[in-house]
Amino acid sequence: MSSKAVYQMSWFGWRHLVNACKVTANLIGSLAALGEHEQITGLISDMIMANMLPVSTSRLVESPEFCDLLAFLEPAYKTPCRQTMTTRLDTMAAKQRCELQNELQSDSTAVSVTTDI
């Protein structure tokens, strides 16, 4: 092999290695962003549930002001659509309902219910 051929092969191998590292770094960055996105969406859902806001509050994610706030705080975050947020809230409510039913069935001998009118 000529020295030129060896140089071209080693250059190709080097470029391939550099490109592979770039792809890996981008993938790791994407996975981190995905985890962060999921965490932010979860925190928004938790805020709605913890404050017992109505499900119609899931429209909050479509509010231009809310989107502007999130874009300022985390420019890479893409707000979920209202339907996604409603589905997430329904899933969280069902999970909480099951946990409450299990707790009432296992530990309780009496239950007292009060309401405000």
> Is 34 domain-assigned?
yes
> Is 116 domain-assigned?
no
pTM recorded for the entire structure: 0.60
Question: Which residue, among 36, 31, 48, has the nearest Cα to 82 in the 3D structure?
Answer: 48
Higher model confidence: residue 79 or residue 3? 79
> Is 114 domain-assigned?
no
Write the pLDDT tens digit of every residue in 9-66: 444 444 544 454 454 444 444 445 567 888 888 888 888 888 888 767 767 888 889 8
DSSP 75: T
Number of domains in the chain: 1
- In which domain, by residue range, is 22 found? 3-99
> Is 57 domain-assigned?
yes
> Is 117 domain-assigned?
no
Question: Residue 63: left (phi > 0), alpha (psi -120 to 50), or beta?
Answer: beta
> Is 106 domain-assigned?
no
Report whether 82 contacts 62 (CB < 8 A): yes
